[in-house]
Structure 1
Amino acid sequence: MSYEAKVYNVMIASPGDLEEERKVCREVIYDWNAVNSETKKIVLMPTGWETHSSPEMGGTAQGIINDQVLSPSDVLVGIFWTRAGTPTAEHESGTIEEIERHIAAGRLAMIYFSDREVRLSTVNPEQYAKVNAFRESCKSRGLLNNFETVNDFREKFSRHLQIKVNTHKIFSGLNSMPESVLPEIEAPLSIAQSLTREARFILKEVCLDEFEQVSYVCYFGGADLETNNKNLLEGIDSSAMTKWEVGFHQLETKGLISDVVSTGEVFKLTTKGREVASLLK
């Protein structure tokens, strides 16, 4: 039977050396839709210049792509390997321009860098230097992710996509709330009751930590979630990893922990977090 759902445009932005990853990105999104769209009432629409742009005169090619594909995008997935792409009038490449414009608009951007092997004879040193320069510029502005193989990218992006849909404010409807309507402040007891089992466990451990801090670091093959002298993800298999990551991000989105130095790696317990933790049994 038919059902109503809200459609979110997910733009895939990358230079031309990542054809496999672009394909995988679409497959992961389609898989998410097949499993979740009816219950979540959300449809994720993968978009890109090759499928969602059409011929038009009167502007630069990048400017037209920005208008036709980038502007309607709710989420952007940026992927880099050895090439930055073709320079534009304003940025080192079209892909970089798309990412910078999307971030400047305050929208969700998920950025990945490939570390998979490549024949050195096929690498353009100037292009690769631009990729590394952009990677360094991004490190101080958020949390990136690296991957080693196409399958590694598939696994990571699939997990990250689930986390974002479950926790990011864009999917909660907050972004579409009329400006004249103030959001209702969620009571501490209501927050405590809404937390997942994993989120509750993490919050209790953070309260026991000497500095009331928790660190979260992703790397090839897994992630570390450390607090109270423990790695809470040690021994956790990939199938259970998502629940713990969702729990951690739930604490962040509820304002129970806050980023210490804006790197997305070290978080500190907030006053609100202490209050909610005191209500947990």
Structure 2
Amino acid sequence: MEGGSTASKQMTQVIKIFLSSPADVIAEQQAVLALAEEINDVIAFLSPDLNVRLEVLRYQDNVYPDAGRPQDVVDRQMPKDFDIYLGIMWMRCGTPTMDDPSGTIHEFRQAMKRREATGRPIVMFYFSDEAPSSLPRTTEAISQLAGVMKFRDELSLIGLTMSYPDRASFRERVRGGLLRAVADVQHRPSAVRVDSPDTEASALEVPASIAELARSYDEVRDTMRPGAERTRKMTAIFSDMMSQAPVAIKALERLKTSRSAGERLAAVALLRAFPQEAEINWLADRLDPDVETPFVGYQAATSLAQAVRSLPVEADANLGRTIDKAMALAKRNPNDPPRIHMLEQARQELLVKRRVSDA
């Protein structure tokens, strides 16, 4: 018995990451491979007792030439038991398949089908906002970019999209999301400790980087006309806020109570990066159209959805009540369907989570 126990402790948990993207983001693919190796080295050096190793799956490495349509070959040979799906897009949507606009979109939808049935994999998708050196001029290039934009709009409705400004920043932007996903696979709480409101830490000044992003949000909202371009800029600011979460999390209380909509948005971003059961009721209150703008309310809904994915099953009953409250508040403005749709997605994910935990 003792020998078997020791052997089980020494077994390494392999967390498989399915990397899915068209061919124009090879540099980002290489960044994910390097980041996975870096995380493996850090774990081996600092926490060898975790016995965890990341393994990246790509068709370039895990698929060999075989008879059949290219996507059918990939589907047949790629492992189906991956824990994390990580998608990336920039200017190209990818090569069409028999049933989807591209292989990447096909792989995303297959991952979502399995997630809806089993609760896994964790799904993340990153879109590049880097400007191309020249605008697309051919019919094929324009069609590819149109496919990316349509798919991005589709994913924005379910809160699974993140953006990065350029290739140089991609590695650091994806690092936080990947670490969060690894913690969720292991059902571990966040490694970042958040001090309670009555501690000295809560009185910390808002980091300059967050304050500047909050000012940028307030300026964009006040000076730009409503529309797709303003929403794109505000979404990019929200992504930047999330990337600053580790250095800003101790200022959460100050951000939550700020008179600045930008600083309250930053608090929402921190809770997307580091979900906390104690804060989900505050997030629900952001859905009140008399309290926050639709954009802040929508991002609060995405943070509630992330709480469903990240918090333990013991929080499910509280999450259910909170989502019901948020939905009632959101429906006060029926002319803003994205918030309501996002909450419906969170509710659906909670049902799947409960079904899987009861199985």
Give TM-score, length-normalised by structure 2.
Answer: 0.54
Contact 2:18 2:58 in 1 (8 A): yes
Query: C-alpha distance in 1, partners of 2:77/2:130?
Result: 32
Kindly indicate whether residue 12 of structure 2 is the aligned counterpart of residue 5 of structure 1: yes
Asked if 1:108 corresponds to 2:122, the answer is: yes
CA deviations over 1:183-206 (Å, ceiling 9, x no partner): xxxxxxxx9xx996417559xx9x
Aligned equivalent of 2:186: 171
Separation in 2 of the partners of 1:46 and 1:195?
23
Question: Cα deviation per residue 1:103-157 (whole Å; 9 max; x = unaligned)?
Answer: 1100211100000120234561110000000001111112311101123211111
Q: Is contact 2:15–2:182 with CA below 8 Å preserved after alignment?
A: no
Partner of 1:55: 65
2:194 corresponds, among 187, 191, 198, to: 198
Structure 2 residue identity aligned to 1:56: D
Letter in 1 for 2:256: T
SS of 1:10 mapped into structure 2 = strand
Structure 1: gaps (5+ residues): 174-190, 206-216, 236-240, 268-281
CA contact (8 A) 2:90 2:128 kept: yes
Equivalent AA in structure 2 for residue 120 of structure 1:
S
1:88 is aligned to 2:116: no
* AA aligned opposite 2:33: R
Following superposition, the deviation at residue 61 of structure 1 comes to 1.5
**Candidates 73, 86, 91, aligned match of 2:82:** 73
| Greater relative CO (CA pairs within 8 A, separation 6+) | 1
Aligned partner of 1:227 among 235, 247, 256: 256
8 Å contact kept, 1:85–1:95: yes
> What amino acid maps onto 1:172 in structure 2?
H
Q: Which runs of 5+ in 2 are unaligned?
A: 1-8, 116-120, 203-234, 246-251, 280-306, 327-339, 347-359
1:156 corresponds to 2:173: yes
CA contact (8 A) 1:198 1:243 kept: no
In terms of fraction of residues, the more strand-rich structure is 1
Q: Which residue matches 1:275?
A: none
Give the 3 Å change call, closer, same or farther, for CA 109–125 of structure 1 in structure 2: same
Query: Alpha carbons of 1:125 and 1:195: their partners in 2 closer, same or farther (altered >3 Å)?
Result: closer
Q: Secondary structure at the match of 1:79?
A: strand
Secondary structure at the aligned position of 1:91 is classed as coil
Letter in 2 for 1:25: V
1:143 equivalenced with 2:160 (yes/no): yes
Residue of structure 1 in register with 2:39 after alignment: 32
The offset of 1:221, in angstroms, is: 2.9
Return closer, same or farther for 1:109/1:245 CA change in 2, 3 Å cut-off. closer
3 and 134 in structure 1: CA distance in 2 versus 1, 3 angstrom threshold: same
Greater alpha carbon shift after TM alignment, 147-156 vs 249-258? 249-258
Q: Please give the alpha-carbon distance, in whole angstroms, between the structure 1 residues aligned to 2:191 and 2:174.
A: 24
Asked if the contact 2:238/2:266 (under 8 Å) is kept, the reply is: no
> How far apart, CA to CA, are the structure 1 residues paired with 2:90 and 2:157?
20
- Counting aligned pairs with the same residue, the percent is 21
Q: How does 1:112-123 map to 2 (within 5 A)?
A: 112-122=126-136
Q: For residues 195 and 341 of structure 2, what CA distance do their matches in structure 1 show?
A: 21
Distance 1:122 1:7, change over 3 A: same
Partner of 2:24: 17
**CA–CA distance in structure 1, aligned partners of residues 272 and 159 of structure 2:** 20
Q: Secondary structure at the match of 1:8?
A: strand
Q: Structure 1 residues 232 and 126 mapped into 2: Cα distance closer, same or farther (>3 Å)? A: closer
Give the alignment partner of residue 245 of structure 1, picking from 267, 273, 297.
273
Report Cα offsets for 1:6-48 as digits up to 9, x if no partner. Answer: 1121111000100110100111111111112534321110110
User: Which piece of structure 1 moves more, 157-166 or 80-89?
Assistant: 157-166
Corresponding residue of 1:44: 54
Whose helix fraction is larger, Structure 1's or Structure 2's? Answer: 2
Counterpart residue number, 2:353: none
